[in-house]
């Protein structure tokens, strides 16, 4: 069974074609081709979690491009990157608040029996599995580091 999220992206692409929304259409085409490329490479249908990770990777790339355009003084291209980020974020689950994430980190530390900074990798991996794309890895690492220090 194909991922529901992938089907939703395809439906949104058709709607963007009909409405003439060029920005949304080009962004969705890029995402869909990226997803299909991964499907072909892995020779299997992707799950929603795998599609979400592709979307997150795409957003991360757009943020990096945005930063580079800002530094180069290219406001026009930087704004285009921000538009793409906004479009893609519509398809991601809502991010966890920092309070929710702290609670999950604290619970995970108890579950894995972590006691020092040496256990950081184990805790971060367990938290990443729990939140499945609803929080950035850098924020998770920062919170885990604070709690284990």
* Number of CB atoms found within 10 A of residue 82's CB: 14
For residue 97, the model assigns a pLDDT of: 85
Query: What is the number of residues in the chain?
Result: 149
pLDDT tens digits, 93-137: 888 888 888 898 888 888 888 788 888 888 888 888 888 778 888
How many structural domains is the chain composed of? 2
44/35 Cα distance (integer angstroms): 11
Domain that holds residue 68: 4-89
Q: 84 and 11 in one domain?
A: yes
pLDDT tens digits, 37-69: 999 999 988 888 888 888 988 998 999 999 999
pLDDT class of 1 with cuts at 50, 70, 90 = very low
| 56, 60, 61, 64 alpha-carbon torsion, rounded to 10° | 170
Q: 112 and 80 in one domain?
A: no
Residue 62: partners with Cβ closer than 8 Å, 6 or more residues away = 81, 84, 85, 88
């Amino acid at each position: 069974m194909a991922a529901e999220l992938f089907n939703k992206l395809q439906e949104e692409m058709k709607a963007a074609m009909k409405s003439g929304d060029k920005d949304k259409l080009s962004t969705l085409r890029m995402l869909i081709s990226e997803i299909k490329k991964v499907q072909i490479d892995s020779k299997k249908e992707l799950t929603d979690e795998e599609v979400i990770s592709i979307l997150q990777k795409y957003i991360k790339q757009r943020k990096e491009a945005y930063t580079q355009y800002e530094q180069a003084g290219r406001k026009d291209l930087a704004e285009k990157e921000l538009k793409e980020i906004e479009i893609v974020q519509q398809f991601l689950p809502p991010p966890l608040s920092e309070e929710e994430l702290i609670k999950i980190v604290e619970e995970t530390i108890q579950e894995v029996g972590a006691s020092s900074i040496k256990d950081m990798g184990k805790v971060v991996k367990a938290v990443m599995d729990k939140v499945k794309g609803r929080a950035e890895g850098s924020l998770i690492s920062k919170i885990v580091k604070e709690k284990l220090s």
